[in-house]
Structure 1
Amino acid sequence: MSQVPMQYFNLMEENYSKYGLSVIQLIQIGKFYELWHEPDVTSIQQAYSQAELLVESSIRSRSLGVTPPIEQVASLLDMRIISPGKRSLLQMGFPIYSLTTHLSTLLDKGWTIIVIDELATDKSGPKQRAVSRIYSPSCNLDGGSELSYVISIYFKDDLLGITLFSAMSGHSIMFPVYWVDRDKVARLLISYRIKEVVIRVDSGANSRMLNKIYGLLIGWNLFPSEPNARIEVMGETLTSTPGLSCYLSYRYENDNKEWLLLHIYLGINEEWFNKNYQEYTLSKIFQSTWTEDVNQANLISLLGTLQFVKDRNPNLIKNLQLPECYNSVVSPLNLILCNRAEYQLDLLPKKGKLGGLLNLVDYCSTAMGKRLLKFRLLNPITDYSELNLRYEEIATFKQLLHKQIFDNSELKQIKDLSSLHRQWAICASSDTTLPPKKLSQIYHSYLSANKLIGSLLPLLRLPPSVGPQLESLIGEIDRFFQVDNLLGDFKDILQPTDNLTNLLVQRQTLKAQLTEWAEQTSNIVFQDTISIKAEYFSKEGYAFSILSKKLAKLERYLANPLVTDPPIIILGKRGSHQIITSPAILGVSIEFNLLEEQVNIYVKQTYNGELKRLYFSYSELFLPLENMISRLDVALSGAIVSTKFNYTRPCLLATDPKAKGLIETINLRHPLIEQLNTQEECVAHDISLEDKGMLIFSVNGAGKSTLLRAIGVNVILAQAGVYVAADSFKLRPYHYLITRILGGDDLHKGQGTFEVEMRDLSTILKLANYNSLILGDEICHGTEVSSGLAILAATIERLTAARTSFVLSTHLHQVCSLIDLPVRYYHLSVIQREDLGIIYERKLKPGPGPSQYGIEVMGHIINDREFYTNALKYRKLINWKSPSLRPRSKSSSLTVFRPSKYNSKVFIDSCEICGAPAEAIHHIKPKRLSGGHSFNLSRRSNLVPVCSSCHLDIHRNKISILGWKRTPAHKKLYWVYLNESLDSGTE
């Protein structure tokens, strides 16, 4: 094998040991970058299913085949692999200028790119090459509208030190987590786009520790969702040598092309535990005195993050802002979303599918605004003053939109200043140059931001110092740079100075000499001024060009003894033209090139110097400016959404430390359903959770889950500071939102449906208090009826005792007779007609509704009359046999109702008006009219069992009780809705 391939594959082994096997190594060969592969060499990559990785390596099945990187890259970039000559070597490549285009494609697929460039030397002989740049999915400055984060975790006994870091913005967060609280981390991570995980473990770790790590990341939902995801394993041999660190690297990818890179380092640098080293290193990196009193585990995690990033690009850890340090993973000011509520409520779009609340309400114009909106949606808050401020900002923009005196045109012109400022910070502290194109984007973003501030300053509470500082910075950029030339020639980007003007005049003089000589000679020889032209060529420098067919005439002219011009030298050919020069012209060209180099050096040094000065003079402006633009963008988006979809402003009820969370809403709708399902009208509901929980019954498909989701989604919108899909929405903010809406197994953890239900129910019972909102869909449907019924009743009892707001749906109607608790019963109405079948009316009505309906629904889905008739036959048999099938005990199979304390012959069974379980006795003739005679008050004819809802309507004069009337067969209660003309009655 020749020297270059040997160098390539030697570097590849070295890079594999440093950066893992998910590496694409590109080597410069002339004007191309090439990728090579030896097909006959055994690959050190292996692949397992995710399930296999969780068992001991000694008993795993044979690993799956791994597609060589060169084939994966060729497929991604739609390029051809070649095998030149007789060598057993596969190659592919592309021009150097195409690297920028292909980088984003490769990074998006989870590859780390190593670039090997040729070194510029004056030595003859073989070209020298070295690694010049490294790009990894989390360590680059081009990530689109969503920032990529790397998460670093340090394992120390039962404590985890965790750091999140974004190279694009320089933003970092750090917090400790005890092992028993590890599940809480998943709630935070949903806000961040994590593509690389770095694990640091003390040396001496074994396969049991690896399984602990895998289990942790599965619990945090970081691995791709399918349990059979292919996992490429890099050198999983554990070292037994004490003190010797070992590096393991994994690449996870599933069928949906979701992926994750995992890097595990076994062994910690001893210096990291030295306090003096910690203070010196961190103060140097963060350009400030490190005064934070941070947990030791967190410091090791932070140092591990910085080392990981530095190994890929040292410039990315320069001019960093101090990390956000927290003592806990969960803020007490947030509404905590439990049991993966963000997934169960469809807050984010699922890969390859429509929907997602974020997509619906995102009308932001800037990348910064989009990130802030997503963060707010996934991290709702409880702070009254901040929520009211967000509502007020939306209200202000709604007025401006209504008056048509404002639009988002200025916001659309603002680029991602978070990323641009980060690139500026890196260039200000290194020898790299901020491309003038980036400065142009920054400048024009500033102009738009300045106009925005000017128009909104009288209307919104904006930071008072941002506007004047921004105007000053814009003025300084105008003073030092020709902003209109930032996209043109680099030499023209500075405003003229004496030094620059002097150099440019000298350069222009020399250029004029060459032009004059070309025109004079052309005039003499060809009687025109265009046959010979002075031009600049990349290799030859300044020279003359002439058509090949005219060259002979010029040579004859110069051969004349009477002509004193120097002889010409032919340098080469460009198409139909010859490139020529002479000793005199060559001397002028060399002098011109030296001047050109002086101009370039002067412009580059001045440009970098001024940008560095401006950065350190105005860097304190950048974060407030970014935050203000993001906030305005989100507020405008909220105004657009509320106007477009007719959302309403939430009303926050007066706060009281002991007051329970509550919702009172009129015509509540599901934001997604009403937009996506356009074939039928979205049914709105009135919901009140102030005094009692709700139990909802209904036919399958009537909309129980949709109603639960509508409540949860609108609570999140309200506590994110956004308007809601309702006509009225009163809220006292909750601290916990706990959902149990999606059923099914958890294949990752090997848990069946009932196990998953009980795990989620455990969370509900632990966190249920007066500041919790519980939304449960068919809890306990994964086990047999008697156990499920008992667990449901016990759950309702616990939630009621804890004063928890809850809405539970169920098919277990028997629970109504089991519990004697202040719970309201409702059902979603369904109409069944012979001609039309089942019609889902979906209206929320009092009472549990019919208790048996599954066969009726099935009959309209499965068009099989015989099967339908047989099912009805067996249901009748079950209902007829059911009393004898139960074991005999003191409790009868018949429902035992409570007698009324007013009259033992009156039982509190079902509401005489709506049929729901009764909760109270209503006196038709009230006490104040009884004349003090309790006998008249307690007669059976004066007592009516009613549910709480109907009882409330009676006292609100919505229902009038006319009394009991005798009929030939029965005694019948007559009553009437006061706003209806038809009377009603129950036997």
Structure 2
Amino acid sequence: MVRQKGEPPHVKRYISNIISPGTNFDYLIESSENYLVSLLIDCNHQIYSVGYSAIDVTTGKTMINEVHGTREDKTYALDEIFNLLQTYKTSEIVLTFNTESIDKEWVQNYLEITPSVVHCINKERLKVTYQNELFGRIYAIRSLLSPIEYLDIERYPYASESLAILCDFIIEHDANIIEKMSRPILLGNSRYLYIGNNALEQLDIISKNPSEMTLLNLIDQTSTAIGKRLLKERLLNPICDLKTLNERFDLSAQLISDYKKFEIALKQVYDLERILRRIALKKLHPLELDYLGTSLEAILGILKAAELKKVPIPKELFDESEALLLMLKNTFVLDSCAKFRKDQISENLFQKGIFPQIDKIEQNKQERFSALEHIANHIEALFEEGNRSTLSIEWLESEGHYIAISRNRFALIEDKLMQSFITIGEQHYFFKDFTYKHLKNSVKISASLIDEISQEITLSNLQMIALVKQRYDEMLEKIETHYALTLEHLISFVGTLDVALSNAKCAVLYNYVRPELLPMQEKGRFIEAIGLRHPLIESREENGIYIPNDLFLGHCTPEITHDHVTLEACHENDVQGILLYGINSSGKSSLMKSLGIAVIMAQAGFFVPCASLRFHLFDKIFTRIISHDNLYKGLSTFTVEMLELKNIFNRATEFSLVLGDEISHGTETESALAIVASSVIKMHTLGSFFVFATHLHQLNRLSLISELKKVIYLHLGVSYDEESDKLLYNRKLEIGSGSSLYGLEFAKSLHMDPTFIKTAYDIRRSLAGELGDMELLKQKKRSKYNKNLYLAKCALCDEYVEEVHHIKAQECADEHGNIDHFHQNHRYNLIPLCAKHHKMVHEGKIVISGFVMGSDGLKLKYEEK
């Protein structure tokens, strides 16, 4: 950022500060977090250790972590850091390598760090004495303890040094924004559900591609920037704290019926977290004070409404918020504040009586301006009654104040004006002595008197603005001193409430339910999902109405009363693992992902897409799902698979959930069979719950696998319709591995050459008159029930549409419009009908079952009687 000082022509330009993506304080538009990260990486005997620190300069939030690999799991630290980089939005990274022998390019590729956002720093190690001096100044520590001890990071030397490097980096860019940082938070592991193998991306919870639909996008119904950040933090950091999770569920349940009322008020709350940070650094713009006032008024209304709903609120929060709002209104003219950024202040921002010195200067300025108005009024009085002309008092930086009048109007009074004079104080001033500058359309009137008054006004204005800016900074300091804690409490309240309301809204919009979570325990643990759905797939109406499934893993107790196909398939009342079969597009990957998504949502405190979900808390979740991630690290598909399997074996416990899709699909069949079989045995030995999707039907013929009584075989049902030469997917779990010949049947259903098929489709389209249908479609007539349903022609014939029929009747819907797990106006619960067929449906002559997924897409299933 280049600024200039001095007056023309002696102007000097200088670099005032350097702005980088991570130190961008004033020009950030997005409401999401913006972390600048420092990584200190060491490697001994190929075992990695990493110190991690992250600062969001816009909020002051600071986090640290220190992770070490082991002989058995050498890259554990890098994997943990990769998860942190995915979880917390990172805009810039400072990399420091402690060992020269480290392959820097390999590490950057492994962590998937883009070169454009990374700075490699090879500097001397920062000594502890320097770190203590640095932290003492930044955090204003005055204690008998050393600053490192005071921050409680003496046991984490890598994290401490990483934080010192990060602070140094920020100071080099802009020393002001490092002040008054929040005390660093240590990201411990014991409280959180461990998410391994990039499961967040593999389960589509987040994505590097901003255009892709993710679970985060879907369930983020928040109204504030504070809530948006907190929701993301919770979703990407599920926990194992049962008490906290139940508190989150309780609050959301309380708000389900009234979420709309709170939602309107929350939309008026600005980003208080960033406002507080800007107050602390005295960088808050006056217009943001107005935002704070608006936010406080909205919050006071929210607090009253929350109290009526018996939402737990600290008693003093309402009084403190009211006191802060009253102080703002009594101190500042908020309407004036709303006009200015800090560097643009040009008038008094304070109420009268707050600062008498400013009031006196402003009064003097107003008196001098009144003298100019007196001169202008005298000139205006020279016009005849009814023909008065409005004059204007103008100002130019190069000329000061002057009076402007149009040339034509001036000509009417010129003679009178030259014979006139004005008295100010006891002195007479003759207008013939004034200066008149004739322009094309106007006349500028000036005089030594006007210049003198103008200079006095300008001087008063400069004095007042300088004093206003000085007092403004003092008031920001006062607000921070007296009300920072109040604002922190409000930030916590707003964020918690907003996330709970978002959760409640999702429960209504998407028919999600509250999960029942049970404590982590060795014996009798289970997970039971009834009516499990995939939230992203069911949200896309073009996929049809989602077919839910039931899943059970664990020990069956008398309280399990639902008829689960998993229990029917097992030899005992105990299911530890499922080998899931099905042809491509049958939905096995989606079902497996649904389970992982539901667990993460539940342990993050969100309602879930199920009819019901009960399970004992997991400590870790791992995925090995086919995707394109990691391929640009320079590793083959098979290498990535084996590395991820190795991580699972090293890190999984008996309280873990492992989801695998087509394990070893990157190698030949014999090796794949051996690897998958060995993986199943390993999982069985570890005691982890697991679901593996596979095409390998030979597995159940291996004695080592068939002997595992807690491992069962299921498949997603598919039937072949000989008459139509098509596959029909029922998407329901069935016992056994299913037929191994559906791959051939699938090929049979698409047996024609693609070029031939395309030509045939073109000919059929012209013969069937489908161009007429396209013309109807271009009219863009849509259903009133669902904008995605175009009314081109009757679903049963080619006639024009007269009615839209609900397959499952509207009367079956609840008060929110939901029928079971889908909305009554879902695209595939509606069919356009002509008058004739609509009448036949209502007379029972046509029975419509719904849409069925086939190998050529969704088809309407109906029967004529």
Aligned AA for 2:190? P
Q: CA offset at residue 670 of structure 1? A: 0.8
Distance 2:730 2:406 in 1: 86
Whether contact under 8 Å (2:222, 2:502) holds in the other structure is yes
Whether contact under 8 Å (2:40, 2:158) holds in the other structure is yes
Per the alignment, in what secondary structure is the counterpart of residue 50 of structure 2? strand
Partner of residue 640, structure 1 = 505
Partner of residue 273, structure 1 = 127
Partner of residue 173, structure 1 = 63
Worse overlay, 656-665 or 753-762: 656-665
Distance 1:750 1:540 in 2: 68
Q: For 1:740, which of 613, 617, 624 is the aligned residue?
A: 624
Q: CA offset at residue 512 of structure 1? A: 1.8
Partner of residue 739, structure 2 = 850
Q: For 2:317, which of 466, 490, 493 is the aligned residue?
A: 466
Q: For 1:607, which of 459, 465, 472 is the aligned residue?
A: 472
Q: CA offset at residue 552 of structure 1? A: 6.7
**Where do 1:65-104 residues align within 5 Å?**
none
Report the CA distance shift for 1:285/1:744 in structure 2 as closer, same or farther (over 3 A): closer
Distance 1:764 1:515 in 2: 82
Measured against aligned partners, the alpha-carbon deviations of 1:875-913 in whole angstroms (never above 9, x if no partner) come to xxxxxxxxxxxxxxxxxxxxxxxxxxxxxxxxxxxxxxx
Q: CA offset at residue 679 of structure 1? A: 4.2
Q: For 1:182, which of 68, 74, 78 is the aligned residue?
A: 78
Report the CA distance shift for 1:375/1:197 in structure 2 as closer, same or farther (over 3 A): same
Report the CA distance shift for 1:538/1:526 in structure 2 as closer, same or farther (over 3 A): farther
Q: CA offset at residue 843 of structure 1? A: 1.1
1:215 paired to 2:106: yes
Distance 2:108 2:524 in 1: 35
Distance 2:439 2:133 in 1: 59
Report the CA distance shift for 1:492/1:661 in structure 2 as closer, same or farther (over 3 A): farther
Distance 2:635 2:87 in 1: 26
Per the alignment, in what secondary structure is the counterpart of residue 538 of structure 2? helix
Report the CA distance shift for 1:673/1:564 in structure 2 as closer, same or farther (over 3 A): closer
Number of residue pairs matched by the alignment: 697
Q: CA offset at residue 641 of structure 1? A: 0.4
Distance 1:745 1:344 in 2: 8
Partner of residue 48, structure 1 = none
Report the CA distance shift for 1:488/1:572 in structure 2 as closer, same or farther (over 3 A): farther
Measured against aligned partners, the alpha-carbon deviations of 1:584-614 in whole angstroms (never above 9, x if no partner) come to 2222222222222233233333332222211
C-alpha root-mean-square deviation of aligned residues, in Å? 2.8
Partner of residue 302, structure 2 = 452
Worse overlay, 281-290 or 526-535: 526-535
Q: CA offset at residue 487 of structure 1? A: 1.9
Report the CA distance shift for 1:178/1:858 in structure 2 as closer, same or farther (over 3 A): same
Q: For 2:708, which of 821, 824, 831 is the aligned residue?
A: 821
Whether contact under 8 Å (1:568, 1:581) holds in the other structure is no
Partner of residue 784, structure 1 = 668
Aligned AA for 1:175? N
Q: For 1:419, which of 255, 274, 291 is the aligned residue?
A: 274
Measured against aligned partners, the alpha-carbon deviations of 1:812-856 in whole angstroms (never above 9, x if no partner) come to 122112121111211111111112321111110111211332211
Whether contact under 8 Å (2:238, 2:600) holds in the other structure is yes
Report the CA distance shift for 1:554/1:135 in structure 2 as closer, same or farther (over 3 A): farther
Whether contact under 8 Å (1:661, 1:805) holds in the other structure is no
1:439 paired to 2:292: no
Q: For 1:195, which of 81, 86, 91 is the aligned residue?
A: 91
Whether contact under 8 Å (2:579, 2:712) holds in the other structure is yes
Aligned AA for 1:307? D
**Where do 1:366-377 residues align within 5 Å?**
366-377=224-235
Q: CA offset at residue 190 of structure 1? A: 1.3
Q: CA offset at residue 798 of structure 1? A: 1.8
Distance 1:201 1:143 in 2: 33
Partner of residue 119, structure 1 = 5
Aligned AA for 1:686? D
Q: With structure 2 as the length reference, what TM-score do the two structures score?
A: 0.76
Q: CA offset at residue 445 of structure 1? A: 0.8
Per the alignment, in what secondary structure is the counterpart of residue 381 of structure 2? helix
**Where do 1:550-569 residues align within 5 Å?**
565=430, 568=433
Distance 1:307 1:679 in 2: 52
Structure possessing the higher relative contact order (Cα contacts under 8 Å, 6 or more residues apart): 2
**Where do 1:376-525 residues align within 5 Å?**
376-401=234-259, 406-427=261-282, 434-458=284-308, 459-488=310-339, 490-497=346-353, 498-524=356-382
Worse overlay, 306-315 or 556-565: 556-565
Report the CA distance shift for 1:526/1:308 in structure 2 as closer, same or farther (over 3 A): farther
Whether contact under 8 Å (2:60, 2:182) holds in the other structure is yes
Measured against aligned partners, the alpha-carbon deviations of 1:329-357 in whole angstroms (never above 9, x if no partner) come to xx122111111111111112452544211
Distance 1:457 1:601 in 2: 44
Partner of residue 200, structure 2 = 342
Per the alignment, in what secondary structure is the counterpart of residue 517 of structure 1? helix
Distance 2:691 2:738 in 1: 17
Measured against aligned partners, the alpha-carbon deviations of 1:224-246 in whole angstroms (never above 9, x if no partner) come to xxxxxxxxxxxxxxxxxxxxxxx
Q: CA offset at residue 558 of structure 1? A: 6.7
Report the CA distance shift for 1:164/1:568 in structure 2 as closer, same or farther (over 3 A): farther
Q: For 2:547, which of 668, 671, 683 is the aligned residue?
A: 683
Distance 2:630 2:90 in 1: 22
**Where do 1:574-973 residues align within 5 Å?**
576-653=441-518, 655=519, 657-659=521-523, 662-690=526-554, 691-692=574-575, 693-743=577-627, 746-818=630-702, 819=705, 820-822=707-709, 823-836=711-724, 837-863=726-752
Report the CA distance shift for 1:274/1:652 in structure 2 as closer, same or farther (over 3 A): closer
Distance 2:384 2:433 in 1: 17
Per the alignment, in what secondary structure is the counterpart of residue 782 of structure 1? coil
Report the CA distance shift for 1:219/1:561 in structure 2 as closer, same or farther (over 3 A): closer
Q: CA offset at residue 560 of structure 1? A: 5.9
Report the CA distance shift for 1:576/1:191 in structure 2 as closer, same or farther (over 3 A): farther
Measured against aligned partners, the alpha-carbon deviations of 1:2-38 in whole angstroms (never above 9, x if no partner) come to xxxxxxxxxxxxxxxxxxxxxxxxxxxxxxxxxxxxx
Report the CA distance shift for 1:360/1:681 in structure 2 as closer, same or farther (over 3 A): same
Per the alignment, in what secondary structure is the counterpart of residue 649 of structure 1? coil
Measured against aligned partners, the alpha-carbon deviations of 1:712-765 in whole angstroms (never above 9, x if no partner) come to 111111111111111110011111111111156843333222222211211222
Whether contact under 8 Å (1:745, 1:752) holds in the other structure is no
Distance 1:305 1:674 in 2: 44
Distance 1:573 1:261 in 2: 59
> Structure 1: 5+ residue runs without aligned partners?
1-114, 224-251, 253-259, 868-987
Worse overlay, 587-596 or 838-847: 587-596
Q: CA offset at residue 556 of structure 1? A: 5.8
Distance 1:656 1:581 in 2: 86
Partner of residue 362, structure 1 = 220
Distance 2:352 2:448 in 1: 34
1:146 paired to 2:16: no
Whether contact under 8 Å (2:382, 2:413) holds in the other structure is no
Partner of residue 288, structure 1 = 141
Q: CA offset at residue 220 of structure 1? A: 2.0
- The higher radius of gyration belongs to 1
Distance 2:389 2:357 in 1: 34
Distance 1:302 1:501 in 2: 47
Aligned AA for 2:685? A
Q: Percent identity over the alignment? A: 29
Distance 1:381 1:648 in 2: 19
Q: With structure 1 as the length reference, what TM-score do the two structures score?
A: 0.67
Aligned AA for 1:537? L
